[in-house]
Amino acid sequence: MIHINQIGYLPNETKVAILTEPSDVFELIYSDNHQVVFQGTPVAFSEAATDAASGDSVWLADFSELTTSGSYCIRTANEVSASFAIGEQIYKSLKNDLIKSYYYQRCGCALLPQHAGRFSHGCCHTALATLVGESHATLELSGGWHDAGDYGRYTTAAATALAHLLYAFELFPERFQEALNIPESGNGVPDLLNECRYELEWLLKMQLPDGSVFHKVSTWRHAAFVMPEEDTAPLYAYAVSSMAVGDFAAVCALAARIYAAYDTDFSMRLTAAAIQAYRFLQAHPDFIPFRNPEGSGTGEYGDRSDRDERFWAAAELFRLTGEQCYWEDFVQLYAEDFSKTHLGYASTGGFGTLSLLTHPNFRFVSDCSLSTHMTTEQQNIAAALFRSWCDEADNYVTFARESGYQVAMTSKDFHWGSNMTVMNRGITLIVAYLLTKNPCYRTAACNQLHYLLGRNATGYSYVTGHGTKYIRHPHMRTIFADGIDEPIPGFVSGGPNARPCDPAAPLIPADTPPMKSFADVYEAYSLNEVTIYWNSPAVFVAAFFDSAEA
Ligand code: 9MR
Ligand code: ZN
């Protein structure tokens, strides 16, 4: 098989197709008239040619020299690939659909035909919620985005998605200027921020008067596969967790800084909410874990520690206010042993690092930070975090070099939601590139996108509506129940999982290699679900590659 990025390649990036059958030559041909424009020789990936994560024998067909925009196919001895593009801005519609997916996840409002087209539907989940353990529904917690294929709304998942989206906006705002045809379009605010505000307004409702924050609001068990407005089971607000409070403080502080340029009142509300949440953390230094109450079955998003959430909160409040007390907490937490580079819902240390590394007072030159505004301690910590970040990025470059599919994933990285790891590593690499301008990070980041869009062992593009063979049956209630054959575009599948644990698991033979442990069927929630925090790192990466240079 010929594995390609099914959308295509940017003119000035490396361009490689992966072949799983030997061929003496390969040719690039115009897709319309089949005229040959380039010829090359496939190169075995290694002496044994075998890729560990997929078990495939692979050959690399490098056509980077071809930089002319156009529509092409690749021809080998026995095969012709589907057509793909070489061109500038070929990921623009991908980027915009990935963002628009959040509009389709809106809860608590009807999706109108003028914005949602044939995917319009009624208003959902507006009933008052009951605090678990109480008997009356008194809490107004409507709004926000459905988390995933299910209709729960979870604070830590929300904060993670918002973080990817808002940091992307902050780092390259010029890539978020297109109107997305959402209800707020045309109000003078970029639509990414309009969409994120829909989530933030809900998040603010999740805070209690003492500054603490509910871990989640959802029904008691997941709904059947019905449209959201048909899911009328009672809603519950679940207990407070310190992860929820920490993430809330961090993401509200981040948002306060970004929305300050658009809406002072909103920014001030976010600032006050962040400070209040932080005060709760100060007053409650102990870990407040979260476990689902007996019998409840919606998403748990458990965690074993809140140190990384507190670290991120300290970083963002320091950045927002410049106050010493936050810096002192940051220094103390920095000395503790948890990842300072991960960007996931249970491991948020990387967001704290990102906040500091992108602080305008720091300028990184090779491996040191220079600043006239920062203390020596601040400079030293920033320089150490910068080195850790680049070390992590270097690891990913090595993983990609050792992968036949040129993806920064080892065999053990194919867990539930592996595509989040693929895209989060893309973020790490992009940030490393922005800090150092070392092109090898940029190339490696682009290779992560190629994997997502079809240059992988299953040959699927893992984004609905994009590519020639994209997933069509994600585990998502709205997509299943809407009666429309075509999936809503712009949703990222969780992707291969070496240990599937859902009704589709029997479809996958026990000896299936990790990168192939996937099935495009509705039942496969551990392989083919969608979530807001798997789409968000893909927005970051697609937006970065939407334009030629940052
Ligand atoms: O993304 C989560 C994954 O890392 C966990 O292994 C899995 C099992 O706990 O849960 C995933 O999160 C799901 C959440 O609990 C409910 N909404 C859908 C999420 C994606 O499958
Ligand atoms: Zn809803």
**Minimum-distance ligand 1 atom for the alpha carbon of 300:** 15
Is there an atom of ligand 1 within 6 Å of 299 CB? Answer: yes
HEC profile of 2-34: EECCCCEECCCCCCEEEECCCCCCEEEEECCCC
Query: What is the tens place of the pLDDT at every residue in 85-138?
Result: 999 999 999 999 999 999 999 999 999 999 999 999 999 999 999 999 999 999
Residue 366, pLDDT above cutoff 60: no
Name the closest-CA residue to atom 5, ligand 1. Answer: 416
Residue 183 token pair: 């209800």
Of 150, 306, 309, 546, which one is the catalytic site residue? Answer: 150
Is there an atom of ligand 1 within 6 Å of 148 CB? Answer: yes
Name the closest-CA residue to atom 16, ligand 1. Answer: 299
pLDDT band, very low/low/confident/very high, at 550 (cuts 50, 70, 90): very low
Of 441, 498, 172, 155, nearest to 306 by C-alpha is 155
Strand partners of residue 80: 75
Crossing angle of helices 155-171 and 532-544, rounded to 10°: 10
Residue 361's pLDDT is 79
pTM (2 d.p.):
0.98
Give me the numbers of helices (H) and strands (E) for the chain, helices first please. Answer: 14, 16
Kindly state the average pLDDT of the residues 418-445: 97
Is there an atom of ligand 1 within 6 Å of 150 CB? Answer: yes
Sign of CA dihedral 482, 488, 492, 497: positive
Kindly state the average pLDDT of the residues 10-38: 97
Residue 49 token pair: 């040619």
Residue 180's pLDDT is 98
Residue 548, pLDDT above cutoff 90: no
Whether 150 sits among the annotated catalytic residues: the reply is: yes
Cα distance from N-terminal residue to C-terminal residue, the chain:
34
CA of 123 to the centre of ligand 2 (A): 7
Is there an atom of ligand 1 within 6 Å of 105 CB? Answer: no
- Residues 285 and 291 sit within 8 Å (Cβ to Cβ): no
Strand partners of residue 134: none
Of 138, 112, 142, nearest to 124 by C-alpha is 142
Strand partners of residue 16: 62
Residue 546 token pair: 């939407």
Query: What is the tens place of the pLDDT at every residue in 50-97?
Result: 999 999 999 999 999 999 999 999 999 999 999 999 999 999 999 999
Query: What is the tens place of the pLDDT at every residue in 457-489?
Result: 999 999 999 999 999 999 999 999 999 999 999
pLDDT band, very low/low/confident/very high, at 412 (cuts 50, 70, 90): very high
Query: What is the tens place of the pLDDT at every residue in 524-541?
Result: 999 999 999 999 999 999
Name the closest-CA residue to atom 15, ligand 1. Answer: 299
Query: What is the tens place of the pLDDT at every residue in 355-364?
Result: 999 988 777 6
**Minimum-distance ligand 1 atom for the alpha carbon of 150:** 17
Residue type, 176: F
Query: What is the tens place of the pLDDT at every residue in 232-278?
Result: 999 999 999 999 999 999 999 999 999 999 999 999 999 999 999 99
Which pairing describes strands 36-40 and 43-44: parallel, antiparallel, or unpaired? unpaired
Residue 445 token pair: 């980041």
Crossing angle of helices 324-334 and 376-401, rounded to 10°: 40
Residue 516 token pair: 């192939």
DSSP symbol at 468: S
- Residues 448 and 426 sit within 8 Å (Cβ to Cβ): yes
Residue 16 token pair: 């490689």
Of 51, 392, 475, 546, which one is the catalytic site residue? Answer: 475
Query: What is the tens place of the pLDDT at every residue in 325-364?
Result: 999 999 999 999 999 999 999 999 999 999 999 988 777 6
* Mutation choice for ligand 1 from 531, 533, 534, CB with most ligand atoms inside 8 A: 531
- Residues 272 and 335 sit within 8 Å (Cβ to Cβ): no
**Secondary structure element (H or E) that encloses residue 353, with its range:** helix 349-357
Query: What's the CATH code, domain 91-303?
Result: 1.50.10.10
Of 51, 97, 303, 529, which one is the catalytic site residue? Answer: 529
CA of 228 to the centre of ligand 2 (A): 5
CA of 300 to the centre of ligand 2 (A): 18
Q: Tokens 């959430």 identify what position?
A: 309
Q: Mean pLDDT for the chain?
A: 96
Residue 373, pLDDT above cutoff 80: no
Is there an atom of ligand 1 within 6 Å of 147 CB? Answer: yes
DSSP symbol at 254: H
Whether 529 sits among the annotated catalytic residues: the reply is: yes
Burial label for 183, CB within 10 Å (0-12, 13-18, 19+), is: middle
Burial label for 366, CB within 10 Å (0-12, 13-18, 19+), is: exposed
Residue 364's pLDDT is 64
* Mutation choice for ligand 1 from 529, 532, 533, 535, CB with most ligand atoms inside 8 A: 529
**Lowest mean pLDDT, pick from 9-13, 217-221, 365-369, 376-380:** 365-369
Is there an atom of ligand 1 within 6 Å of 531 CB? Answer: yes
Is there an atom of ligand 1 within 6 Å of 417 CB? Answer: yes
Phi-psi region of 487 (alpha: psi -120 to 50; beta: other; left: phi over 0): beta
CA of 37 to the centre of ligand 1 (A): 46
CA–CA separation, 281 and 450 (whole Å): 41
Q: Considering every ligand atom, which ligand is closest to the CA of 292?
A: 1
